[in-house]
Structure 1
Amino acid sequence: MGPGTGAEVPVPEEAPRTGLEVPVPGDPVPEDPGTAPRPSAPGTPPRAPDPQAYIRLLTGTQFAFNIGFYAVLPYLAGHLGEGLGMAGWLVGLVLGLRTFSQQGLFVVGGALTDRYGPRPVVLAGCVLRIAGFCWLAQAGSTATVVGAVLLIGFAAALFSPAVESETARAAVAHERATGAPRAQVLAVFSAAGQAGAFLGPLLGTLLLFLGGGFRAACLAGAVVFVGVLAGHARLMPRRPRAPRVPHTRAVFSREVFANRPFLLLCLAYSTYLVSYNQLYLALPAEVERATGSQGALGALFALSSLLVVTAQLPLTRWSARRIAPRTALVAGLGTVAAGFAAVPLAPDGPAGLLPGATLVVLLTLGQMLLVPAARGLVPDLVDDHRLGLATGALSSVSGLAVLLGSAASGTLLGAPGPVLWTVLAAVPLAGAGVALTLPRAGARAPGH
């Protein structure tokens, strides 16, 4: 899922280390976020890694991760409701638990990444994701389904903060070295993820069409993550542990959780994630209402991903030059709100899919504006040595909001259309109001 532009944020003369600088004598050994260097002679500082190669590795990681993830997730709600006979509120709760175990626990993965480096955290996340998909393929009761989706979510809570914080760190280094806005690197990362999200539902749809069912989609997702695990065991560089710090400070750092601008960013971003989660809850219900089945769901997810793949980079390039990160965040949330508001107003088009397609297009356009802006602001609001924790916290606050909102929105699925879509539109609109209170150019955390 991908990220602010950074070009409009003043950079201090002595910027925090990104982990990509050339080491100088007397400095501590830097964390190595580049391609795995050749062993150096004892006492010789390691050579500076290639930032471009590391960015390519992280981008390819996001691409493969989303192929496996989206081969399964779009069909989970239908499997729970039709295959296992769960009530609507219970389906919403299970989806919320999955998101909370993922987004809500990002803070754990981020803290572990700060402490141990990205490699062991990424590998552990791959192993747990494989186990979770295999378990979900066999789960037949509410308890086993909940256990499987919690494991799948926690796997991503380890994997994603490591990859996203490293990408943000590399994007800042690239900006300082070349002057190109960091949002461009984050947009490439996001576009690669969406390319994977484009192929994943098509893979899931193909398996369903061939009669393999939901179990086959789960096993295919597990196979993809076996490949991700093997690739990262070979290519992900090792790096020294960070200096030991007290446990309570590592996890509950005041540099992050007492930082008012950062907390406002978390709150605004959480309204986006609550809205985005409706692609897995309200959108399937709308498609089934309009067409009598969820057969067109894969095509709508493919439409969303195709929009990001083709339009993310030009849109980010334009927004990085023309508007401030805060403005991009507000505009993106407003566009998402317009998508929900348009559903009851749009006439049914071919096969009844026009309202759903309108929602997907506007939500995706809003996402392309706001996600690189939000993620690009994080390095300006917290210290570099807490970047993993802050990246995780951004998603954890959002995950808690999704947990609270999913059961409620699942209950609302039976309400009249205008009521449902008005309530859903109000959520990102409130987030846009919160985003308006953010500093225009990003405030610095204390001691930053």
Structure 2
Amino acid sequence: MTTATPDTGATPALKPYLRLLTATQFAFNTGFYAVLPYLAAHLGDGLGMAGWIVGLVLGLRTFSQQGLFVVGGALTDRYGPRPVVLTGCVLRIAGFCWLAQAGSTATVIGAVLLIGFAAALFSPAVESETARAAVAHETATGTPRAQVLAVFSAAGQAGAFLGPLLGSLLLLLGGDFRTACLAGAVVFVGVLAGHAKLMPHRPHRPPTARTGAALPREVFANRPFLVLCLAYSSYLVSYNQLYLALPAEVERATGSQSALGGLFALSSLLVVVAQLPLTRWSARRLPPRTALVTGLAVVATGFAAVPLAPDGPAGLLPAAALVVLLTLGQMLLVPAARGLVPNLVDDHRLGLATGALSSVSGLAVLVGSAATGTLLDTPGAVLWTVLATVPLTGAALALTLSGGRRTPEPVTAVTD
């Protein structure tokens, strides 16, 4: 019997299928973020929509994506990732082309719902397949699965960083929002072509008693998995404060929100530069549960540090400390949390579980954002203390999870 030798290189030597999935995540975020940062300005300034309608449109896009991840995950388990990914690409192309032409509230809403639903199909299929492939890679080479998932996360962050730059470049060259939408559509045409040619077929899974009515119960009555969902939700509620509490803090400290762009760029660059070495270190020294708990504790420290940091000439220091610590916590906990999912559910339910992880977290963000909004006018010490308790609660929940790894089932969908 041949013993797998752990990969000790700086970056895991990924098989072609894992390289395809990683490149997919990069291209997906590049195309998406070439458009999204400019959507609100286009709706308000370009189309003259009222502020509440702009907020409604953005909220509907998030709901149609995160809220329906569980649908995409279930379809992936039933039909395999290939048809779900290809359908998601086609719908995303159609959505971007529609949004480029949309001029009324109804057509804009229809376009963003289609764009969000496309991601609800595409993302859980790619993420669950990456998790499955990472487990197989771990079994074959000894490389911790978290390292593979970190490459996937870093690729996504690189796309999120380069996408807005692509959109800005198009605008500087004389293009408009329509040009950015069409550029995003072109990116997804490339993703569609690549997957149509390279993504392997998975044997069709016929319906059985196990994949019928009892199917959701296998996931949603799974207490350890629900604990993971709640712990992960505490992170996403915290991460969402980059768009809610952080802007309020920056404006309080500097009198405007002009520094936000630099702070977001700092977050993305940290992930691109530090994700792989940090995960390589943690994957070899920390069990996944410990990495999850530690990451949530670091996030909590970021919130607790805001009222302790000085004002005056260093007015942005509290906000910068929050961004750095929240990003470091994210880099620790996200690969660990995704790596735990295959331990907690059967392989034939991995897609549903991956989608459910995002859908439950999306619901928590919806509730948590409303609650945070009511606290923005309270004294800073109260606001940031309450926010710090959210990831601390998640860390306490994560401590109840098993730190071990189950032996994965044979994986047939990652053949190169």
TM-score of the superposition, structure 2-length normalised?
Answer: 0.83
Q: How many residues align?
A: 395
* CA contact 1:187–1:313 (8 Å) conserved in 2: yes
SS in 1 for 2:51: coil
Letter of the 1:381 counterpart: L
| 1:186 corresponds to 2:149 | yes
SS in 2 for 1:253: helix
Shift of 1:332: 1.0
Note the residue ranges of structure 1 that are not aligned, 5 or more in a row.
1-6, 8-49
Shift of 1:408: 3.8
CA distance in 1, matches of 2:398, 2:56: 28
Shift of 1:195: 1.3
| 1:277 corresponds to 2:240 | yes
* Equivalences for residues 236-275 of structure 1 within 5 A: 236-245=199-208, 249=212, 252-275=215-238
Residue in structure 2 matched with residue 124 of structure 1 by the alignment: 87
* CA contact 1:66–1:196 (8 Å) conserved in 2: yes
Residue number among 327, 330, 338 corresponding to 2:293 in the alignment = 330
CA distance in 2, matches of 1:282, 1:81: 22
* Equivalences for residues 293-304 of structure 1 within 5 A: 295-304=258-267
Residue in structure 2 matched with residue 439 of structure 1 by the alignment: 402
Identity %: 84
Letter of the 1:300 counterpart: L
* CA contact 1:343–1:359 (8 Å) conserved in 2: yes
SS in 1 for 2:116: helix
* CA contact 1:251–1:389 (8 Å) conserved in 2: no
TM-score of the superposition, structure 1-length normalised?
Answer: 0.78
Structure having the higher helix fraction is 2
Residue number among 199, 207, 228 corresponding to 2:191 in the alignment = 228
Residue number among 71, 81, 86 corresponding to 2:51 in the alignment = 86
SS in 2 for 1:343: helix
SS in 2 for 1:330: helix
Letter of the 1:357 counterpart: A
Q: Could you list the per-position Cα deviations for residues 98-147 of structure 1 after superposition, in whole angstroms to 9, with x for gaps in the alignment?
A: 33322221111111111111111111111222233344445566655544
CA distance in 2, matches of 1:415, 1:142: 35
* Equivalences for residues 306-345 of structure 1 within 5 A: 306-345=269-308
Provide closer, same or farther for how the CA distance between residues 113 and 437 of structure 1 changes in structure 2, counting only shifts above 3 A: same
Shift of 1:234: 2.5
Residue in structure 1 matched with residue 132 of structure 2 by the alignment: 169
Residue in structure 1 matched with residue 412 of structure 2 by the alignment: none
Note the residue ranges of structure 2 that are not aligned, 5 or more in a row.
6-12, 409-416
Residue in structure 2 matched with residue 66 of structure 1 by the alignment: 29
Shift of 1:294: 5.1
Provide closer, same or farther for how the CA distance between residues 192 and 55 of structure 1 changes in structure 2, counting only shifts above 3 A: same
Provide closer, same or farther for how the CA distance between residues 378 and 75 of structure 1 changes in structure 2, counting only shifts above 3 A: same
| 1:427 corresponds to 2:383 | no
| 1:346 corresponds to 2:298 | no
**Which has the higher mean CA deviation after the structures are superposed, 247-256 or 401-410?**
247-256
**Which has the higher mean CA deviation after the structures are superposed, 430-439 or 392-401?**
430-439
Residue in structure 1 matched with residue 352 of structure 2 by the alignment: 389
CA distance in 2, matches of 1:353, 1:298: 13
Taking only aligned residues, the RMSD between alpha carbons, in angstroms, comes to: 3.2
* CA contact 1:97–1:403 (8 Å) conserved in 2: no
SS in 2 for 1:241: coil
SS in 2 for 1:395: helix
* CA contact 1:108–1:158 (8 Å) conserved in 2: yes
* CA contact 1:74–1:298 (8 Å) conserved in 2: no
Provide closer, same or farther for how the CA distance between residues 439 and 240 of structure 1 changes in structure 2, counting only shifts above 3 A: closer
Shift of 1:64: 0.6
SS in 2 for 1:158: helix
Provide closer, same or farther for how the CA distance between residues 420 and 223 of structure 1 changes in structure 2, counting only shifts above 3 A: farther
CA distance in 2, matches of 1:202, 1:147: 27
Residue in structure 2 matched with residue 402 of structure 1 by the alignment: 365
Q: Could you list the per-position Cα deviations for residues 372-426 of structure 1 after superposition, in whole angstroms to 9, with x for gaps in the alignment?
A: 1111011111111111111111111111112223344445555554444344333
* Equivalences for residues 128-143 of structure 1 within 5 A: 128-137=91-100
Provide closer, same or farther for how the CA distance between residues 250 and 305 of structure 1 changes in structure 2, counting only shifts above 3 A: farther
Shift of 1:81: 6.9
